[in-house]
Every structure is written in structure tokens, then in C-alpha cells.
Copies of this chain bind each other. A is one copy, B any other.
Amino acid sequence: MEWIHKRNVLIVGLGLIGGSYARALKRLGYRVTALDKKESAIRYALDHRIIDAGVTSPEPDVLGSADAVIFALYPGVFVEWIRDNQHLLKSGAMLTDVTGVKSCIVYDIQNMLRPDLEFIAAHPMAGREVYGVENSDDRIFRDANYIVVPTEKNTEEGIAWCRELGQILGFAHIGVLTPEEHDEMIGFVSQLTHCIAIALMTCSENRHLAEFTGDSFRDLTRIARINDVMWSELFLKNKEPLLRQMDTFLREFASLRDLLEAEDAEGLRQKMRLSTERRGYFDKEV
């Protein structure tokens, strides 16, 4: 398989996800090197044998010996990194990423990339409400989805390689979407739901209600604990798809509100029956 020929893996950005990739790949026998500007992250990963080697700046010999490079950076930093450092990468290296938005970066990167390199985008839909390599854990991949996001510039070999990466990392389900399909999907499934949880927490000072909340309220607001720097960037980079989703939700919520104001019991029940029916589709996939 393709992966046999990619023994040296470089992970750029050693946080929660980068660290989790490192743990899985090292255990599978790859030589894993990490680049992270934070000395403490590299130190921790070396001490805990999560990586084989690590550097805090893009050293030419490290970049030049990587067969595969996995970028686990914020979107803006990722694009800059490619622009500034791609000349140091080994000819024929395969590049992939873990970024949560796609259209806004994939085309830019593929257009500026050296012709002897291939970047095939991916989104591992796994995460936790904690951060940093200290909390990394590749068990988070087990029940999660991994989306390969190819464009016309990708080769069959690149797509197969990226898909196999998801498989060996242990993801439960591998999907393939275009950048546009991905961003529409993630706008609904992830970003809209985070917006809802945020608004529910910020709409009023509800501290005095904490003692009365049950499991369903806690489930619904668990994601209201959010990394503001990362998520504000993800929202802004996916502005148009997310705005469409937010507007669709706003209209629907307002119409539910109007049914209540009009005391339209049958209208409310219809909404509830549709909700129950649709929610059923989501359970079947578990």
C-alpha cells in the first residue's frame, strides 16, 4: 500500500489533533517528527514518546526528509506556512491537513504549490473541549468521521493515500466531499450548533439556574465551552455557508415562535412530528 513508502511523517502543529495523529502513527511504526514553535509542546511529546524527534523552527534537514507532511494549524497560519516554507520540502512528498474549513484554503494552497508536491485535504471530525498535545489521545478517532476533500488537481494516488491515512488512524467512517459540500455540511453539523450553544449561554445571566439544569441542558451546551481564537477564525473563513445556515435556522425558530404566539396547537404539533421523524434518521446512522 501507499503508506509503506511514507516512513517519515512530519506533523506541523503539535496540539490536540496533531498530537493524536502522532500517537497513532508512531504506534503503527512510522518515524514521527513534529514542528511546533512551542518548545513546551515538543518537550512534552518527546518526554512521553509521542514523537521521535521535534523542532521549533522549520529546519531544512527535517523538512527535506519528510515523505508525508500533516498540517494541524489554524487556517491562516497554514496558508502562510506553505508560502514561506514549501521550497524546503522533499520532492514527491504528500501533504494533507486537518483544517475544519476547506474552500478558503484548499484552492489557494493548491494554486501556489510546487508541481512536484501534492496536497490532498482532509478533515478528521474529532475533537475535545480541551487543548494541547498534553490532552492528545487517538481514541477520539474511533467513533468519528474522516472526510477526504479532493479537487480536480488531486491524483487518484493522492486520494487513495489520504483515505488510507484515515483508515490506519482508526476512524469509524471515511467520506469524500468537494470543498464546497464540506463547508456547507460543516456549517450545519458543527458551526451552526456551536453558534446555538454560544447564544444560549450568552443570551442572559443564567447562573442562578445552574442548580436546576438536567442532562439534556448540559448536553446541549457542552460545546458552549469554546476556543475563541480558533473558532472565530473558522467561522470567519466559512462566512457565507455559515450565514446561510444561521439565516435558515433563524427563520425556522422565528416561525416556531409565531406558532406559539398565535396559539396554533396543530402547527406546533406538526413541527414536533417532523422533528421527531427527522431525528430518527440521525439515530439510524449511529
List A residues at the B interface (Cβ < 8 Å).
125-126, 143-145, 147, 173, 175, 185, 188-190, 192-193, 195-207, 209-229, 231-233, 235-236, 239, 242-243, 246-254, 256-257, 260-261, 263, 265, 268-276, 278-286
Contact = CB atoms under 8 A, between A and B. Distances in A.
The dominant DSSP class at the A interface is: helix
Given A189-B209, A218-B286, A222-B279, 8 more contacts: A125-B212, A190-B214, A192-B200, A199-B253, A218-B283, A233-B265, A243-B261, A250-B250
A39 to B, nearest CB: 26
A203 B252 contact: yes
A206 to B, nearest CB: 6
B175 A188 contact: no
B198 A232 contact: no
Q: How many copies of this chain?
A: 2
Given A211-B173, A219-B220, A232-B265, A225 B279 contact: yes
Nearest to A284: B210
A256 B226 CA distance: 15
A89 to B, nearest CB: 31
A150 to B, nearest CB: 16
Contact of A189 (B195, B217, B222): B217
A228 B268 contact: yes
29 contacts: A126-B214, A143-B215, A175-B211, A189-B212, A189-B214, A195-B256, A196-B196, A196-B220, A196-B253, A198-B275, A199-B252, A202-B256, A202-B278, A203-B248, A206-B278, A207-B278, A207-B281, A217-B282, A219-B222, A220-B220, A224-B276, A225-B276, A225-B279, A228-B268, A231-B272, A233-B265, A235-B260, A243-B257, A247-B257
